[in-house]
Amino acid sequence: MRIGTAEIYRQVETFPEIADSVVVGQKWENDERIILFVKLAEGVELTEELKNKIKRATRENASPRHVPAKIIAVEDIPYTINMKKVELAVRDVIHGEPVLNKDALANPESLGLYRNLLELQT
């Protein structure tokens, strides 16, 4: 499945509660599910209400297939030195695979935030 990350970003990053986000596919039960990681605006908590708001907007304005299976709050989003999000590195980390291009990252320490997350095991 090819995830339409641009569609999801357009929806999510218009929300004042969301400072940044990254979307990846996670291999799950012989398929792939969409995982949305969000960096929240200062003072905002990731509530069920906010998750539902994100899912509803994605379903209505992108498509039902773009609705994330999981929405998880993280403290930082990894970027390259050229300020491009690195979805592939996040995907590699959540699958327990090595990240080969750490030298190209502006904030490689952020990848540790995605390792062994309990939310991704259910």
Does residue 14 carry a pLDDT above 90? no
Which string of DSSP letters, residue by residue, matches 74-122? -S---BBTTS-B-HHHHHHHHTTPPPTTGGGBS-GGGGGGGTT-GGGG-
pLDDT in tens, 55-75: 998 888 877 888 999 999 999
Domains of the chain, start order: 5-115 (3.30.300.30)
Question: Residue 7: which pLDDT band, with cuts at 50, 70 and 90?
Answer: low
pLDDT in tens, 85-122: 999 999 999 999 999 989 999 999 999 999 999 999 99
